[in-house]
Amino acid sequence: MSVTTVRLQAEVEQHLEAIARRLHRSKGWVINQALSECIEKQQLEQERWKQTLEAMESAAQGKVVDASEVHSWINSWGTENEQNAPRSGK
């Protein structure tokens, strides 16, 4: 494990100490948890952005499905005549 020094604002330090006491954990543990969650969130957001850009490119290429086909498909869910997902014409 590596060591990193960080300067905290007084208010942040107070909250950090209070959380650590409440959880019966060290401040280092709380910081590690917070950073791990932040990193995971950033990675998910980056992946979502990548998927959004890919979807926009796909739409720009005309790979789209008519909204009425999508609604019909969704309305068929859970029925005896459940439809397959509509596919783009391209």
Tell me the pLDDT tens digit for each residue of 9-28. 999 999 999 999 999 999 99
To 10 degrees, what angle do helices 27-60 and 10-23 make? 110
Q: Amino acid identity, residue 56?
A: M
Residue pointed to by tokens 């917070």? 34
pLDDT recorded at residue 37: 98
Model-level pTM?
0.68
Tell me the pLDDT tens digit for each residue of 16-73. 999 999 999 999 999 999 999 999 999 999 999 999 999 999 999 999 999 999 999 9
pLDDT recorded at residue 90: 62
Nearest to 74 by CA among 85, 63, 61, 66: 85
pLDDT recorded at residue 89: 73
Burial state string for 27-57 with b = 16 or more CB within 10 A and e = fewer than 16: eeebbeeeeeeeeeeeeeeeeeeeeeeeeee
